[in-house]
Amino acid sequence: MRVHGTTSAAVLEQIRRRPADQRRILFTGATLITMDPALGVIDDADLLIEGDTIAAVGRALDAGDAVTVDATGTILTPGFVDTHRHAWETQLRRIMPDVDDLGGYVAATLAGYATVYRPEDMYIGTRLAALTAIDSGITTMLDFSHNSRTREHTDAAVEALRATGIRGVHAAMGPHFGDWDRQWPGDLTRVKDRYFSSDDQLLTLRLAALATDEIAGPALAYGPELARVAAELGIGVSVDAVLGAASSEAVLRWAADGILGPGVTLIHSTGLTPDAWRLMGDTGTTVALAPTSDAQIGLATAVPAVDEALSVGIRPGLSIDVEVALASDMFTQMRALHAIQRMRAVNAVHGTGRQPCRITTRDVLDFATLQGARANGLATVTGSLVPGKKADLLVIRAEDLNNMPLNDPIGTVVLGSDARNISAVLINGEPRKWDGHVLDVDLNALRSAVHASRAYVLNTPAAV
């Protein structure tokens, strides 16, 4: 892959000619953002992939018979990690771009459209979300899948992740409203045995729950019983709708019950009390922020809780949340959080003579990569470009019209780039986007399936 992609097809053919476990790929001449504190940013760097793993990073690597990819004029960075997205909704993306509050979203989507979804609609929405994620540089996506009305719905959501080749986290929860088989959480044993029997695979399983019983009743609310289920299965927990006073009280109960910790991720965490944050920090609980969701939809205080997290030693991950109302990509999340936090920091000290405490572009890139991996329980697998981790990475053109000349690599990724600049995406060492195009997708067939699914969902009366 040269700067202008003139040999990209030939190089891809060379890579794919070898069996995946025997491949050796050497990227040369790139600016390498490792997101590792010790390695930092390396100019004119090489990165060697062997099979699905990063074997070496540095300069002038000797790679023998590896397929060489000339990455001069590009930035190599870890793939982004999405810690929370309701992927089944994707054929309804931007159907309510100006939704005013959580209640409006819940009424239209979870109490309305969700109730008529078939397994095939779950599959199409989830697959579209995952392919869109790959196109915009997200190599790991946690699908907070809360519309599995039958076993078949669950299987369709997992199969959709598997079909795209994304590093997928299936976080399973029962539906909020309408008729369903009540197979969750009991069905998680079957799901784990069928799809998640190995610890060394692209897909992982988590239990998903809500923070309180305010929205959908006690059956979906996190507590000792669901914590026991997750512990018996040996899986992590992701808790959504962690918002405001009721959730703050729930955090205090969870701490007293001993069911907080690094294996639990609290999503949003907006409008929580200082006591709740202190306990989250003390227990090493992880946090997934949703910057545009909090601000645009207006969840609790509507302010992404990055300062609160950092004050107790939590470095949060980032997430997309709902495409029915929000952007699909991580660039938007990084920029929104960067701007909102810095605005608030300056505003807080305006006229006092004190110095504002502002986050940096490196902070938000860290949140979007390594900290997201930690929140998803995958920090030893992905999130940084270091030897021994899986080869999940992006090749971003630094000499495109909107990026040249390259002055600050991290600033260029966070503030300058978007999906059009991503020349290649590799997941587990496998090219999933190349020369600017997502691979192995029949877009016409996908488009037809998406439109047909949307038509069914919109034209079928809600079953509530």
Query: Could you read off the pLDDT of 260-288 as tens digits, one per residue?
Result: 999 999 999 999 999 999 999 999 999 99
User: Domain residues of the chain, as ranges?
Assistant: 8-78+382-438, 80-375
Q: Identify the pLDDT of residue 200.
A: 81
**Considering the chain, what is the average pLDDT of its residues?**
96
- List, in order, residues 6 or more apart from 391 with CB less than 8 Å away: 25, 49, 52, 53, 54, 426, 427, 428, 429
Is the separation of the CB atoms in 437 and 412 below 8 Å?
no
Answer yes or no: is pLDDT of 27 > 70. Answer: yes
Classify residue 133 by its DSSP letter: H
Dump pLDDT digits (tens) for 408-451: 999 999 999 999 999 999 999 999 999 999 999 999 999 999 99
Q: How far apart are CA 58 and CA 49, in angstroms?
A: 12
* pLDDT value for 7: 43
| pLDDT digits 0-9 by tens, 151-171 | 999 999 999 999 999 999 999
The H helix count followed by the E strand count for the chain is 15, 17
Residue 135 has pLDDT above 90, yes or no: yes
Is this model's pTM higher than 0.95 or not?
A: yes
pLDDT of residue 8: 80
CATH topology of domain 8-78+382-438: Urease, subunit C; domain 1 (2.30.40)
Question: What residues form DSSP beta bridges with 431?
Answer: 426
Residue 2 has pLDDT above 50, yes or no: no
Pick the CATH number of 80-375 from 1.10.150.80, 1.20.200.10, 3.30.70.20, 3.20.20.140: 3.20.20.140
> Most distant CA pair in the chain: distance in Å?
64
Cα separation values, 109 from 48, 93, 95, 318, 341, Å: 45, 11, 10, 23, 30
The rounded distance, in Å, linking the Cα atoms of 248 and 269 is 9
Is pLDDT of 459 > 60? yes
Tell me: pLDDT of 97 over 70. yes
What is the tens place of the pLDDT at every residue in 349-389?
Answer: 999 999 999 999 999 999 999 999 999 999 999 999 999 99
CB 42 within 8 A of CB 57: yes
Q: What is the pLDDT of residue 464?
A: 60
Cα 48-49-55 angle, rounded to 5 deg: 70
Answer whether 453's CB lies under 8 Å from 124's CB: yes
**pLDDT over threshold 70, residue 197:** yes
Cis before 405? omega within 30: yes
What backbone phi and psi angles, to 5 degrees, belong to 457?
A: -65, -45
